[in-house]
Structure 1
Amino acid sequence: MTADDRPDIIFLMTDQQRWDALGVHNRLVKTPHLDRLIESGILFPQATCQAPMCVPSRHSLMTGTYPSQNGVRSNEAATPGDDAIVAPVLAEAMRDAGYLTAGFGKTHWGRTPEIPSTRGFDVRVVGTRDLGIEVGAVGWQEEEDPDGRAAYLEMTRGYGPGEEEPVGYIGATSTIPTRNHPDGWIAERALEWLDGPDLETDKPLFFYLSFVKPHAGHNPAAEFEALYDIDEIPDLETPPWDESRYDHIRVRDDNSHFLGARSERWRDAWRGLTPRERRYATLRYWANCSWLDSLFGRALDRLAVRGRLANALIVFASDHGEMLGERNFQFSKYCLYDSSVRVPLVLSGTAIASGLRGTVDDRPAALVDIYPTIAQAAGFGIHASAAGASLLEPARRAGSFAEMHEPAPAWMWRTARYKLIAFVDPERSGAQGELYDLQADPREWHDLYHDPAHLAVRADLMAELIAHMAATSAASPTHGALGAAPVLEAVHAFAGHQNDSETSHE
């Protein structure tokens, strides 16, 4: 394969966008540009992330490995420096394959022992310093537009860490121009570059455009709020139980003062809101999705003018989902329920075979599959530790896997019908668990883990989970042995020796 006939790779990414926050899934959500990509591409509606939090999810995606393989298991833990990272990251592999690599926006490498390089990007613009500094990156909003950055910080004062305090989720109409938002600033820098001379090259292009929204805070511009009618926005459904129910969210909150206290503040705030006020929070989240959709549309138009969509693979994904008030007013992610772990994932562009355009692929796709998919399209081999498989080939796995290690470990195995969640409670011996029939109970309200009629299903799923973890641990022994072996021991001991009647539960 020569450089002349390899496709340009256009990678569009958001942060914390629910799998169903697209017009193709929900007629109320206005995302016309992404919907058009889906109409001419492949939609993977069952896709999941590998870790429902930003830093480990993005490390997983960028290396094609699971968190227990690459050692990046939480947002708070230190992450590897350039020399210690488990595999060549995607941009580095693309550059080594002869691509011009340009990255605009969030990668979120986390806290590294030293400031990381741009890790393969020839051109790199990171919007704000709070998402990480990279040696060789050009342009920072704080330096190039300090007044705009100050205006954004003033508007979001009180939103709290990650803008995820209740006031950040309640949100408000933006009082500043969208160009002063971090994503607006990044979009302008990207569009300026797309108009410039760097694209006058024979090299194929790897173009990465990654936004911070629709992650809280919910502060869209009035023009995007105006796309929605508050009277059409549904109120939240509340389950037939409260936060005292025993599950992995309760264990998480019991073992993290920060997460537990914040969950309590969310509940207290939302119980004091009227239904109309609650619906406005959802409206503003969807309005942010619509704003980003418009920015992607502008970038795609510019790429088309420059001739970079004539032979192209376009990828759209998000790093994880958003609970958006479900399960008694839970927000953010940090759990293994579908609203948190399912993600939008789309392949589109002229590089997609004509027979696959406009199709829906219900395989258990995952973000770790993006690396090998792009590698196949670009014509280079993947590293030996890669956990995913190309989405351009027939499906190879029976289920999807995710893991969470902040603050207490939990693991998911999700098939077309069922989901098993195995988790550790520091206050109880052995592994604990949850089981859901996703076809009969898509909201995951009715836990069947201790239902006698589903014990055989539970055992089968536990065996599949153990086999999957053992295989991925063996594929990356340096990191995997440290991360997965204790997990295997705990889950295997529970599955093999602790029967249902011995398990205490509420």
Structure 2
Amino acid sequence: MKKKNVLLITSDQQHWNTLGFFNPEIKTPNLDRLIKEGTTFSRAYCPNPTCTPTRCSLITGLYPSQHGGWSLGTKMPEETLTIGDILMKKGYRTGLVGKAHFQHNLQNEKYSSLEAMPIIHDLDFWKTFQDVFYGFDHIELTRNHTVEFLVGQHYAIWMEEKGFNNWKDYYQPPIGTLDPSSKRIWEIPEEFHYNTWISERSNKLLEEYKNKNENFFLWSSFFDPHPPYFVPEPWASMYDPNDITLPHHLNDEHEKTSPLLKLTQEIDPDYSKYYEPKDKNWLHGCHSHIHNKEDLKKDIAIYYGMISMMDNYIGKILDKLDELKLTDNTIIVFTSDHGHFFGQHNLIAKGPFHYEDMIKVPLIVKEKGVVPESIVNESLQSLVDFTPTILSKLGFEIPRTMAGKDQSKVWNNEKKSVRNYIMVENQHTENTVNLRTLVNERYKLTVYYNKTHGELYDLKNDPLEFNNLWNNSEYAELKSKLLLDFMWAEMDKVPLWMPRVSLA
């Protein structure tokens, strides 16, 4: 019997509740189709609410504290075992088109990076690059989100091959000439947008795999809807800002949360004490989150437009899979690396704030005849489980070095759950911004390194997380129990690299 193929499709920084099937304010017909043909997991979480840590966890089955890419601005060691390494040895082709972000974007003498300047802009280098990259035998990359100057690599080569020689006019300085003050409507022709590139190049690989009768693991990795908020027409006008429903929040809710969160509600907050002596890099999310509601509605309209445009090009990949008659033999997974704030808790974009909006992600799985169709599964899922689960589904042994759980029987609806907890890490700096969160069936507990404050939420009675119970004396016993559960979860997620084979 022929082995199954795997198609992983990811978005970047997509709020879990931005799928049209569940949210009538947004249109995502192709992802809705996937929802109808597969299982949607309503309680899926990222292991870290930033890009590098979670993306590395996806392909390693390890937590960020274990695989090395522990924060933004770091990189995972190249020798780290990935799902691609394993599948290549089993005869699979492995491809990645779009966003990787396994490495930092500024070159460093001690820590080199293929995703850093200036090499990302050296198109001659990328035209001849043939090396395996974290287990992917074929990669096509760029590093920008919409108009950012980090555009380059294979995407820039593709634009030039298409005759789009003035592509730099649509990107910000120093690489491009786009006015930095421009907002929202992106004038780039849609035929040269990176969504077009990702779908076209993904489909080309699918055709190659089909023609050569090769098993494959293909990751189509989209950049949207990660800010900056830009999208071409007609997507930019698809949603009327006046029709946008702003998320509800309480004016005083951060009076009972962490100082990190409380500072976000100041006009000019002082985060200086959170900067490390040897690390002056920007702290994501540690700034004022005060915003104008009308501008926020405009931003959300563009955010939704970015998702709808991306959905259109996801549909082209799904259609190609059907056209090539590969769908029935392919495990299809859609997810995002982490969530997003667009006004929830009066917060914007992302930061070290572990509300459900930030740490929960969409997760849809389709496997014809195996994974149930058109159901919503409420079992706890972590993206750190992706690699061990896929290996199990393909019939391959899961390395003992992996920390993730095998969710294959849960995906197949043969078992109710294999997890009683989720652990979310966020060591954004070495010491000052370091928090971890335990989520179980009902409660969420967030602990801050070297701090006595924290968060405790009852997700059943307070699903929007407005009432922090950390300092509520009536919940002291529950907090103590959850702190013990937290320690047990930390002990449970440590992989044991080999079995004990002798007395001594």
TM bin, normalised by shorter chain, reads 0.7 to 0.9
Is residue 458 from structure 1 mapped to residue 466 from structure 2 by the alignment? no
- Equivalent pair of 2:246/2:343 in contact (CA under 8 Å): no
CA deviations 1:31-63 (Å, max 9, x no partner) are 111111111111111100001110011111110
What does the per-residue CA deviation read over 1:424-443, in whole Å, with 9 as the maximum and x for residues that have no partner?
25xxxx54321011122222
Query: Which digits, 9 at most, give the CA deviation of each residue in 1:123-156, with x for residues without a partner?
Result: 221134899xxxxxx9612334253641331499
Deviation at 1:378, TM superposition (A): 1.5
Q: Is the 8 A contact 2:336 2:361 kept in 1?
A: yes
Match of 2:156 in 1: 142
> Are the aligned partners of 1:20 and 1:344 in contact in 2 as well (CA < 8 Å)?
yes
Q: Which residue is 1:135 aligned to? A: none
2:185–2:230 Cα contact (<8 Å) kept: yes
Alignment partner of 2:437: what SS?
strand
- Percent sequence identity is 25
- Runs of 5+ in structure 1 lacking a partner? 132-137, 478-506
Match of 1:341 in 2: 359
Q: Which runs of structure 2 are paired with 1:148-159 in the superposition (5 Å)?
A: 149-154=167-172
The answer to whether the Cα contact below 8 Å between 2:145 and 2:224 also exists between their aligned partners in 1 is: no
Residue 372 of structure 1 aligns with which residue? 388
Please state which structure has a larger fraction of its residues in helix. Answer: 1
> Could you tell me which amino acid in structure 1 is paired with residue 389 of structure 2?
T
* 1:493 matched residue in structure 2: none
Aligned pairs (5 A) from 1:252-263: 253=271, 254-256=273-275, 263=286
Within-5 A mapping of 1:29-68: 29-68=26-65
Cα separation, partners in 2 of 1:98 and 1:235, compared to 1, 3 Å: same
Deviation of 1:313 (Å): 1.0
Could you give the per-residue CA deviations for residues 443-465 of structure 1, whole angstroms, max 9, x where no partner exists? 21211011122112211211111
Matches within 5 A, 1:395-434: 395-407=417-429, 408-425=433-450, 430-434=451-455
Matched length: 445
For the 8 Å contact 1:128–1:182, the answer to whether it is kept is no
Using the size of structure 2 for normalisation, the TM-score is 0.81
Letter in 1 for 2:54: S
Q: Is the 8 A contact 2:459 2:465 kept in 1?
A: yes
In structure 1, distance between residues paired with 2:173 and 2:50: 25
- For residues 46 and 237 of structure 2, the distance between their equivalents in structure 1, rounded to whole angstroms, comes to 31
Deviation at 1:398, TM superposition (A): 0.8
Aligned to 1:435: 456
For 1:463, give the aligned amino acid.
Answer: L
Matches within 5 A, 1:193-208: 193-195=205-207, 197-208=208-219
Identify the residue that residue 92 of structure 1 maps to in structure 2. 85
2:406 to 381, 390, 402: 390
| AA partner of residue 180 (structure 1) | F
CA contact (8 A) 1:69 1:472 kept: no
User: 1:280 and 1:411, CA in 2 relative to 1: closer, same or farther beyond 3 A?
Assistant: same
Using the alignment, how far apart are the partners of 1:110 and 1:251 within structure 2? 31
Q: Deviations over 1:383-425 (max 9, x none)?
A: 1122222322131221211010113211101112111001125
Q: Which amino acid aligns with 2:216?
A: L
The aligned counterpart of 2:197 is 185
Aligned to 2:117: none
Residue 16 of structure 1 deviates from its aligned partner by 0.4
Instruction: Tell me: CA distance 1:460–1:294, structure 2 relative to 1, closer, same or farther (3 Å).
Output: same
- Rounded to whole Å, the distance in 2 between the matches of 1:398 and 1:92 is 30
- Change in Cα spacing, 1:124 to 1:349, as seen in structure 2 (3 Å) is same
Residues 9 and 206, structure 1, Cα contact 8 Å, conserved in 2: yes
Preserved CA contact (<8 Å) 1:403 1:411: yes
- In structure 2, the CA distance between the partners of 1:74 and 1:357, relative to structure 1 (3 Å rule), is same
Distance of aligned partners of 1:127 and 1:225 in 2 relative to their CA distance in 1, 3 Å threshold: same
Cα 1:121/1:462, change in 2 over 3 Å: same
Task: Show the counterpart of 1:502.
Answer: none
Q: Distance in 2 between matches of 1:442 and 1:300?
A: 34
Question: Structure 1 residue 97: deviation in Å?
Answer: 1.9
Aligned AA (2:368): T
Q: C-alpha displacement at 1:176, in angstroms?
A: 1.4
Equivalent residue for 1:497?
Answer: none
Q: Which moved more, 1:67-76 or 1:45-54?
A: 67-76
- Aligned equivalents of 2:462, 2:50: Cα separation in 1: 25
Equivalent residue for 2:20, pick from 23, 26, 38: 23
Residue 303 of structure 1 deviates from its aligned partner by: 1.5
Cα shift at 1:341: 0.5
Distance 1:149 1:53 in 2: 29
Contact 1:128 1:141 in 2 (8 A): no
CA 448–157 in structure 1, closer or farther in 2 if over 3 Å, else same? farther
Q: Is the 8 A contact 2:103 2:113 kept in 1?
A: no
Could you tell me which residue of structure 2 aligns to residue 357 of structure 1?
Answer: 373
Across the aligned residues of Structure 1 and Structure 2, the Cα RMSD in angstroms comes to 3.0
The structure-2 alpha-carbon separation of the partners of 1:51 and 1:158, relative to structure 1 and needing over 3 Å to count, comes to farther
Q: Answer whether contact 2:141 2:153 (CA < 8 A) is retained.
A: yes
Q: Report if aligned partners of 2:171, 2:177 keep a CA contact under 8 Å in 1.
A: no
Q: What's 1:223 paired with?
A: 234
After superposition, the Cα gap between the structure-2 partners of 1:243 and 1:90, relative to the gap in structure 1 and judged at 3 Å, is same
How many angstroms apart in 1 are the aligned matches of 2:220 and 2:462? 36
After TM superposition, list the pairs within 5 Å mapping 1:293-308 onto structure 2.
293-308=311-326
Would the aligned equivalents of 2:257 and 2:454 in 1 still touch at CA under 8 Å? Answer: no
Matched AA of 2:191: R
Return the offset for 1:284.
0.9
Bigger drift between 47-56 and 237-246 goes to: 237-246
Name the SS for the 1:280 alignment partner: helix
Aligned position for 1:483: none
Aligned to 2:102: 109
The question of whether the paired residues in 2 share the 8 Å contact of 1:47 and 1:364 is answered with yes
- CA separation of 1:443 and 1:155: change in aligned 2, threshold 3 A: farther
**What secondary structure sits across from 2:228 in the alignment?**
coil
Q: Is the 8 A contact 1:148 1:180 kept in 2?
A: no
1:240 to 238, 248, 251: 251
Q: Check conservation: 2:284, 2:350, Cα contact below 8 A.
A: no
Q: 1:198 deviation in Å? A: 4.2
Give the CA deviation at 1:110: 1.0
**Which residue of structure 1 aligns with residue 492 of structure 2?**
471
Partner of 1:120: 135
Q: Aligned partners of 1:280, 1:156: CA distance in 2, in Å?
A: 27
- Structure 2 residue matching 1:216: 3-state secondary structure: coil
Q: Is the 8 A contact 1:312 1:351 kept in 2?
A: no
SS in 2 for 1:214: coil
Q: Does the 8 Å contact 1:65/1:368 carry over to 2?
A: yes
